[in-house]
Amino acid sequence: MTALIQTIDTPDGPFTLLVDEQQRVLSSGWTADREAILARLAPAHRPDDVRDGETDAADAARAYYDGDLRAIDGVAVAQRGTGLQLQGWAALRSIAPGAPLTYTSFAAALDNPRAVRAAASICARNAPALFVPCHRVLRSDGSLGGFAWGLGVKQSLLTREGSGGGR
């Protein structure tokens, strides 16, 4: 598989996107380190050939940062995982900007309210960050919890979306 990789500047720092031939986001995050983006994918799912190029998803990310918080909603992603992971990643895409869920309510949305650790794991294993907005899930006490790209970025995204987040 051949993939395109592109890094853009954002108010939260460099943002790198890896997309497949169909312009689906495979992995993305706030770094200029291309290896870190590839490392978010299991070795068997990494592209054989990665080339620099322009991506449609980068335009959506720019629009998001310009204030169109829904610009990321229609961007196609390609994720591989268990049935529960796929269900969870789809559910993350339905969380509206400014209306974050707790890990507990996210687990309940997956019809498994006791699976709070599984819900957190789904967020942690989410490779196309921003486009599958795992940053919109918080701890039960309203604090940020974790985020692969740093709590400063998570806080910034939540503030941009009007939910503030964190304690």
Catalytic annotation, residues: 134
137, containing H or E segment: strand 137-138
- Here the tokens at position 117 are 């650790």
8, containing H or E segment: strand 2-10
**Contacts (Cβ under 8 Å, ≥6 apart) of 120:** 103, 137, 145, 146
